[in-house]
Amino acid sequence: MKRRMTVAQAIVAYLQNQYSGRDGKEHRFIEGIFGIFGHGNVAGMGQALEQDSGLKYHLCRNEQAMVHTAAAFAKATFRMRTLACTTSIGPGATNMVTGAALATINRLPVLLLPGDIFARRDVAPVLQQLESSHSQDISVNDCFKPVSRYWDRIERPEQLLTALPEAMRVLTSPTETGAVTLSLPQDVQTEAYDYPEEFFRKRVWAIPRSRCDQSLLKQAVESIRAAKRPLLIAGGGVLYSEASDALATFAKATGIPVGETQAGKGALSYDHAQEVGAIGVTGTPGANILAREADLVIGIGTRYSDFTTASKTAFQNPAVRFININVAEFDSYKHAASPLTGDARATLEELQRALAGYMVDESYRLKISSFRADWEKEVDRIYGIRKEPPISQGEVIGAVNATVQAEDTMVCAAGSLPGDLHKLWRTKRPGGYHLEYGYSCMGYEIAGGLGVKMADPKREVYVLVGDGSYLMMAQEIVTSIQEGYKLQIILLDNHGFSSIGGLSRGCGNEGMGTNYRYRRGAKYDGDFLPVDFVSNAASLGAWATRARTREELSAALAEGRRQPHTSVVVVETSYEQRVPGYEAWWDVAIAEVSERDSVKAARKNYEEARKKERIFF
């Protein structure tokens, strides 16, 4: 049997019958499609989506934002589901490049379907076409190649028969997933072909729980039993493998402390006895001291970013060795580790059985307990700071954390907020802490919150966003209103880019270009710009209000929770009062030559700190 369909119609029909499967559970993998239409896709993908409602269509306001929403949706569902995105050619397509980079760097599956120039070429150059004097086989969609895990250009209708299954293979792969881009020339989208009926049958893409090598597992068991100060580092792979219960059981049984990366935060509840909190540049004192002294580090589902390793300075024990549990071989070999290449949950369960009866010694357990108690006191101190407005960012985090319930999710991405949240946020369940910090993309927050809400409309979603990120991409408030997905947005107004302002000063500079002030002569050192964020948010359809004090903020959050649609609470925060760093360093290169004494001093400190960077062999 054959079905005569256009390329675009075939894509829509195929995607709605693709499922992911793991542990006996099936999920429709492509839950819907975002799109903005132009001449490059309106007559192809637009016509197909209007004709066939089997793949739910969503309208957004910005092409970059819709990829962020899809990536957040995938992250919130632990990569078992995602969304597709379609655009016209030219600027509509290239607006998605940033989103593609974010998805690939964070290893989140998103399917991108940008329109492309005419494959038949006779009408070239079409509107928005990039011309090249050395090749006719190039378009702006080639920009997606370095930021996609799979890229293809569909120039004949029958190419879908091999391209779509390969795209699905990559999207559902635990090791290869990321952005997948299928460029669709606008003429090819509308061309018909007799597709075999079986091409559109339901297909379940099994996501396996691969097992590690047993001889290496045996060696790992011996290494753990011999270690005096072992430390676990939980990364995002723990969540994607749905291994949180296995990790909690393993940590309790062995007494090994657990530090969490940004992507892995929430793998354990904050009140678990072995949970020592955030690790690395934005880590807690206890976790970073334990990392510095550890003789064995067990990384689970982490890629060891520079924030996690404090730019390769976190692990200072001369005898330290690594065991890496990771589904990706590429990551399991990092730091010259003993590689347990396999699924996090399956490997943890096997490891625990092999370690039956093992427990760290009493003195180490007491040290862990002491670090935990000291840190809880420090969090309470920061949450309880009382001063005249503007209040501190830490106090805002405390007020929001006190408001959320166990099933709620907090979303953030860029600026100084992620570092403070990593340290301070008391996470109650896996998925309750949603940070995009692989790309740390300003503008992700509201679009990402929308994706989290779409993944589970029953949950309350709290979006924490700075004024800098808000001004870059606030328009998806309109999308949340239109789609009926309520967000609770807390907008922190510190009149500029607080994070980079602080970093600039730490480098011996003066924070150039980080304050929202009027220009006065050569510098921006006039009065603060009077941006009315409340009026702005209200104009987009949100319920909006301003809070000045902790009490006003708590009351506004309670009222926002009662609102039937998206709310925005604006609170001015202190630019200067910051949550300190603890026992860690980040490599940000300082100018080697300068006329400023402050830069010279910063360079001297930098050169001294770099001496602690290590390469493991």
DSSP track, 222-290 = HHHHH-SSEEEEE-HHHHHTT-HHHHHHHHHHH---EEE-TTTTTSS-TTSTTEEEE-STT--HHHHHH
Residues 295 and 366 in one domain: yes
Q: Name the token pair of 473.
A: 């991409």
Question: What pLDDT does 99 receive?
Answer: 98
Judge whether 568 lies within some domain. Answer: yes
Tell me 143's DSSP state.
G
Provide the 3-class DSSP secondary structure of residue 449: helix
Question: What pLDDT does 500 receive?
Answer: 85
Judge whether 581 lies within some domain. Answer: no
DSSP secondary structure string, 115-132? EE--SS-TTPSPTTPPP-
Q: What are phi and psi of 87, to 5 degrees?
A: -140, 170
Judge whether 582 lies within some domain. Answer: no
Residues 415 and 549 in one domain: yes
Q: What is the CA radius of gyration of the chain?
A: 25
Residues 555 and 600 in one domain: no
Judge whether 381 lies within some domain. Answer: no
Judge whether 577 lies within some domain. Answer: no
Residues 515 and 458 in one domain: yes
Strands 461-466 and 409-412: what pairing? Answer: parallel
Beta bridge mates, 207: none
Rounded Cα–Cα distance for residues 172 and 152 (Å) = 17
Question: Which of these three, 374, 399, 416, is where a domain ends?
Answer: 374
What is the sign of the dihedral through the CA atoms of 432, 435, 438 and 444? positive
Residues 359 and 459 in one domain: no
pTM for this predicted structure: 0.97
Residues 458 and 511 in one domain: yes
Question: What pLDDT does 513 receive?
Answer: 85
Rounded Cα–Cα distance for residues 115 and 40 (Å) = 5
Rounded Cα–Cα distance for residues 62 and 34 (Å) = 10
Rounded Cα–Cα distance for residues 322 and 332 (Å) = 10
Question: What pLDDT does 511 receive?
Answer: 83
Omega before 389 cis (within 30°)?
no
Helices (H), 417-462: 417-424, 444-455
Q: Which of 234, 277, 272 is nearest to 253 (CA)?
A: 272
Task: Please identify which residue in the block is written with the tokens 């607080």.
Answer: 498
- What region does 263 belong to: left with phi over 0, alpha with psi -120 to 50, or beta? alpha
Rounded Cα–Cα distance for residues 540 and 480 (Å) = 10
Structural domain that includes position 184? 2-206
Question: What pLDDT does 448 receive?
Answer: 98
CB 141 within 8 A of CB 114: yes
Question: What pLDDT does 504 receive?
Answer: 85
Task: Please identify which residue in the block is written with the tokens 């979603």.
Answer: 461
Count of beta carbons in the 10 Å neighbourhood of residue 89: 28
CA 251, chain centre distance (Å): 25
The domain that contains 124 carries what CATH number?
Answer: 3.40.50.970
Beta bridge mates, 192: 6
Question: What pLDDT does 9 receive?
Answer: 98
Question: What pLDDT does 373 receive?
Answer: 98
Question: Which of these three, 352, 374, 396, is where a domain ends?
Answer: 374
Residues 315 and 361 in one domain: yes
Amino acid at 245: D
Task: Please identify which residue in the block is written with the tokens 């166990």.
Answer: 406
Residues 74 and 179 in one domain: yes
Rounded Cα–Cα distance for residues 271 and 274 (Å) = 8
Question: What pLDDT does 501 receive?
Answer: 85
CB 457 within 8 A of CB 408: no
Strands 57-59 and 25-28: what pairing? Answer: unpaired
Question: Which of these three, 183, 206, 229, is where a domain ends?
Answer: 206
Query: Domain tally for the chain?
Result: 4
Rounded Cα–Cα distance for residues 552 and 572 (Å) = 12
Residues 89 and 153 in one domain: yes
Q: Which of 462, 466, 470 is nearest to 401 (CA)?
A: 462
| Average pLDDT along the chain, 617 residues, taken 10 residues at a time | 97 98 97 97 97 95 98 98 97 98 98 97 93 94 98 98 98 98 98 98 97 98 98 98 98 98 97 98 98 98 97 98 98 98 98 97 98 98 88 96 96 96 97 97 98 97 97 97 98 90 86 88 90 98 97 97 98 88 95 95 95 95
- Could you give the count of Cα atoms lying within 13 Å of 90 in the half-sphere of its Cβ? 13
Q: CA end-to-end span of the chain, whole Å?
A: 59
Count of beta carbons in the 10 Å neighbourhood of residue 460: 17
Judge whether 121 lies within some domain. Answer: yes
Rounded Cα–Cα distance for residues 413 and 444 (Å) = 6
Judge whether 292 lies within some domain. Answer: yes
Judge whether 580 lies within some domain. Answer: no
CA 445, chain centre distance (Å): 10
Residues 219 and 202 in one domain: no
Residues 202 and 219 in one domain: no
Tell me 590's DSSP state.
P
Find all residues with CB under 8 Å of 381, minimum gap 6, and list them.
Answer: none
The domain that contains 352 carries what CATH number?
Answer: 3.40.50.1220
CB 290 within 8 A of CB 276: yes
Residues 260 and 290 in one domain: yes
Provide the 3-class DSSP secondary structure of residue 376: helix
Rounded Cα–Cα distance for residues 516 and 307 (Å) = 28
